[in-house]
Structure 1
Amino acid sequence: MKKMAIVLAAGQGKRMKSKLYKVLHPVCGTPMVQHVLDMVQEAGCERSVVIVGHGAEMVQSVLGDKAEFVLQAEQLGTGHAVLQSRELLEGEAGTTIVICGDTPLVSKETVLAMLALHESSAAAATVLTAELPDPTGYGRVIRGEGGEVEKIVEHKDCNPQEAAVREINTGTYCFDNQKLFAALAKVTNSNAQGEYYLTDVIGILQQQGDIIQAYCTPDADEAIGVNDRVALAEAERSMRARIMKRHLLNGVTIIDPAATYIESSVVIGADSVIYPGTVLRGATSLGEDCVIGPHADITDTGIADGSIIHHSMLKGAQIGSRCTIGPYANLRPGSVLGDGCKIGDFVELKNATLGDGSKVSHLSYVGDAVVGKDVNIGCGAITVNYDGYNKFKTEIGDGAFIGSNVNLIAPVRVGDGAYVVAGSTITHDVPDSDLAIARERQVNKPGYADKIRSRAKAKKERQN
């Protein structure tokens, strides 16, 4: 049976008190509405229609071609929002999931279980429910003796017996698609708010004698709808715990999950160890047997097996296997390391490629450079890549040795096996296997240090 989804994402979210539209607020690095859309598609929905309103262009730009979009120009209730997709979906036969774009914690497993109940019982509608310790403010789901839904009662309308029910309506549904749109045509706005409510469809289907089912999620956190920053923090906490559990069960050691931040898109190989204070964001992927942290901040970076990163920041980099980085290194976008490289303390790389086995051990800057294999770059060395207007490239061949406090003034090439003496400023190419010295010859003046001290002391005494 064909499956479709309608994602409600038209609300502005005034309670968020933000310039960013509500459904675009990220949870563990991904916009809420993106979580929802990805989930329904993973659950097998062949068509996904997103109802947009406030911030429509921005929502569409974030989701791109992953969905069809319909504008709800005026927000007149959830039933009205779903009705906007009529021209796209009314003629389809199958099952439609209706879900809000601010419910990022609803899982694929829950939706699949709800769909299975819906289809096996030939229901016209199935409501996703949850049991809450304190259901105050939520609509209660009242079931019949056979477990079917008799009615959904809003909190303000509950009698004492109904108010004692802890099973609530989460606002996520499965519908027989054609019955959904037929019932929507009968929904009116004869209520205090003057809006068209999707919950009225349930009553209309019941009056027709259709079966209404309810599936209760085993995880009450899935009921969280994010309407303010408090709920956003709760959703973040819950999803973080879910992400940590997934990695732990996949063989990753996370020393202190409460002190570690990992976004939903991150991939980590088995037997890697993540120390506290680590932040892993975006399209970051770690191989097996890596050691990360403490206090590593890594974004959009690929790290191969067995590499170690301590107290460092990496963004947009690619790291080979068995590399060691840090502490206090900064690898900026375009940094590419081969296997077995070493990047030490207070080293910065930007748009630089290092071959296998090369080392930049401490206090150096390598930018806009191509460095060969087994190169040693000494303390304080700098590739001088910028003249105030343009960037220039430095090339260093295999097996070269760059001494401490060397300035390589780009564009320049140091050949294979070449040796640049410490303290040199290199402005011309160094051929293969040559030794380059570019510094003033040392001159010692006997006893001159005492004269300098005497002059300085006399000057200070005159000033006092």
Structure 2
Amino acid sequence: MRDFAAIILAAGQGTRMKSSLHKVLHPIGGRAMLHHLMASVDELGPQHTVVVVGSGREQIEGAVSGRAVTALQEPQLGTGHAVQQAQASLAGFSGDVLILYGDVPFVRASTMRKMLDRLHADDAPAIVVLGFEPKDTLQYGRVIAGADGTIEKMVEHKDASESERACRLCNSGLMAARADDLFDLLGRVGNDNAAGEYYLVDVVNVARADGRKSAVVITDDANEVAGINSRAELARAEAQWQDFKREEAMANGASLRAPETVFFSWDTELGRDVTVEPSVVFGPGVKVADRATIRGFSHLEGAIVGEGCEVGPFARLRPGAVMERGAKVGNFVEMKKAVLGEGAKANHLTYLGDAEVGAGANIGAGTITCNYDGYFKYKTVIGPRAFIGSNSALIAPVRIGADAIVAAGSAVSRDVADGELRMVRAEQLVKPGWADRFHDTMKKKKAEKKA
């Protein structure tokens, strides 16, 4: 790759989103749309990335800190004016420049590379524009081009004639140019148009007036350049992205029993021969190893599921949950910052928080690790092959030894040694005949009340 810089426009107010969160920070698959785009840019190794900000600048500055610099557009006088604000940040840079939009998150790195390659073709166009052919041309600007892809004219929809609006080749807004060419052309763009703004597309017309050609590259997928401006468009983008991830997961060897009901995050990793039953949600940070089974209605986030493990149904794995090879959690089990050792199991109605469970241990139904005293969190350690009886409360910090048994219904607050039985129950009180006398008395009272 030749040296290139990316300018990402994100100065718009995003009023149609009706949100206090900046438009480009709304998530798709658990990742901000801006970060989706930046990840594609990063695949190509840019020398500089400049994000042009305006309204809500503080949010974006925090979101791109360490990955990009920002340039302020104030006031906002159009897309051409926005790109000009990045000029100071690229002072001394003479490579190529890609112009992208923060609310157009799905542009592939391969498409960006295609634009940059076209810029250095034999005819050396001044500007390369990314075009697309949607089913409905709506209000998109048009690209009037010859058969060889040379651009004859660029025009915004509101400024286009009827014959120009009949053209189906639309402008995505994405462009590539050499830095020196770009800022020279921008400096000569005027605002004599219906909106009184400085249009980025006019750099093509200025270059044409200089006798220089520009070229269009056409994406083969119009969805790649779909902009997101409203909650409805965000939902459609999420659906589009989820469909792609489902197909990708199955192509890589996972079985999804009802694909349309499974939801992924941007970084979900599934191994081969993983089975995912209906209505499973993967939050960010989940890795599932080969031959694991995720049963229906389970929710996983920030969790690692080992080879051959079984999760659910109706299980919840929260951040820090780790299941080692062959471990199992069943229905209504929750794990948080806990390790379930190889072959260990917690089959029913259990909470494991801030815990370490040894290999082969059995956690009975209704067991909880009491990890929080209202101020601090404490750890529970359960040794290998330990057996925790049903309805037990393990009051941390506490350690249960290897091969130890905790009797059902125990509330354990002190360490249990290896191989020890611990039973913590109140003495049972037996009153023969008491229940019969109670029922007789209450039935008599009820009859008297009715009379």
Same fold (TM over 0.5): yes
Instruction: Kindly indicate whether residue 243 of structure 2 is the aligned counterpart of residue 241 of structure 1.
Output: yes
Q: Alignment partner of 1:461: what SS?
A: helix
1:20-419 equivalent positions in 2, closer than 5 A: 20-120=21-121, 121-304=123-306, 321-419=307-405
CA contact (8 A) 2:398 2:414 kept: yes
Deviation of 1:441 after TM superposition, in Å, equals: 4.4
- CA offsets 1:119-159 (integer angstroms, 9 cap, x no match): 11311101100112321322221113533101012323434
Contact 1:104 1:235 in 2 (8 A): no
Match of 1:461 among 441, 447, 450: 447
SS at match of 1:261: coil
Distance in 2 between residues matched to 1:118 and 1:437, nearest whole Å: 77
C-alpha distance in 2, partners of 1:390/1:431?
A: 25
C-alpha separation in 2, matches of 1:399 and 1:172: 60
Name the stretch that deviates more: 240-249 or 178-187.
240-249
Q: Percent identity among equivalent residues?
A: 42
Aligned counterparts of 1:387 and 1:161: Cα–Cα separation in 2 = 73
The TM-score normalised by the length of structure 1 is 0.89
Question: What is the alpha-carbon distance in structure 2 between the residues aligned to residue 82 and residue 213 of structure 1?
Answer: 20
Task: Judge conservation of contact 2:7–2:100 (CA < 8 Å) in 1.
Answer: yes
Equivalent position SS for 1:430? coil
SS at match of 2:65: helix
Structure 2: state its 5+ residue gaps.
Answer: none
The 1:184/1:387 distance shift into structure 2, 3 A limit, reads: closer
Equivalent position SS for 2:66:
helix
Deviation at 1:440, TM superposition (A): 4.0
The question of whether the paired residues in 1 share the 8 Å contact of 2:78 and 2:198 is answered with yes
Partner of 1:65: helix, strand, or coil?
coil
Distance 2:228 2:352 in 1: 45
Q: Does 1:424 align with 2:410?
A: yes
Label 1:459 to 1:368 Cα distance change in 2 as closer, same or farther (>3 A).
Answer: farther
Structure 1 position 182, deviation (Å) = 0.9
| CA distance 1:323–1:216, change in 2 (3 Å) | same
Per-residue deviation, 1:97: 0.7
Distance 1:64 1:450, change over 3 A: same
Partner of 1:262, secondary structure, is coil
Retained in 1: the 8 A contact 2:279–2:296?
A: yes
Q: Please give the alpha-carbon distance, in whole angstroms, between the structure 2 residues aligned to 1:387 and 1:263.
A: 33
What does the per-residue CA deviation read over 1:34-64, in whole Å, with 9 as the maximum and x for residues that have no partner?
1222212213422111111111111121122
Root-mean-square deviation (CA, aligned residues, Å) is: 2.3
Task: Describe the shift of the 1:261–1:212 C-alpha distance in structure 2 as closer, same or farther (beyond 3 A).
Answer: same
Compared CA separation, residues 370 and 208, structure 1 to 2 (3 A):
same
Report how many residues are paired.
448
For 1:144, the aligned partner's letter is G
Q: Distance in 2 between matches of 1:199 and 1:94?
A: 20
1:198 CA drift (Å): 1.1
- What TM-score results when the alignment is normalised by the length of structure 2? 0.91
Which region of structure 1 is more displaced relative to structure 2, 46-55 or 419-428? 419-428
Correspondence for 1:311: none
In 2, Cα distance between equivalents of 1:387 and 1:353: 21
Q: Is the 8 A contact 1:128 1:172 kept in 2?
A: yes
User: How big is the shift at 1:387?
Assistant: 4.0
Distance 1:337 1:136, change over 3 A: closer
User: Does the CA-based 8 Å contact 2:30-2:266 persist in structure 1?
Assistant: yes
| Alpha carbons 1:206, 1:212 under 8 Å: kept | yes
- Higher alpha-carbon deviation: 287-296 or 171-180: 287-296
Distance in 1, Cα, partners of 2:52 & 2:174: 15
The CA distance in 1 between the partners of 2:238 and 2:429, in whole Å, is 65
Listed one character per residue, the Cα deviations across residues 294-333 of structure 1 (whole Å, up to 9, x for unaligned) are 32222222223xxxxxxxxxxxxxxxx2222222233333
Change (3 A) 1:188 1:230: same
Q: Secondary structure at the match of 1:129?
A: strand
Give the alignment of 1:413-452 within 5 angstroms: 413-442=399-428, 444-452=430-438
Q: Indicate how the Cα distance of structure 1 residues 150 and 371 shifts in structure 2: closer, same or farther if over 3 A, else same.
A: same
- 1:443: Cα distance to partner? 5.3
The residue identity in structure 1 corresponding to 2:312 is G
Go from structure 1 to structure 2 and tell me whether the alpha carbon gap of 1:337 and 1:270 turns closer, same or farther (over 3 Å shift). Answer: closer
Q: Is the 8 A contact 2:299 2:316 kept in 1?
A: no
The answer as to whether partners of 1:41 and 1:48 remain within 8 angstroms in 2 is no
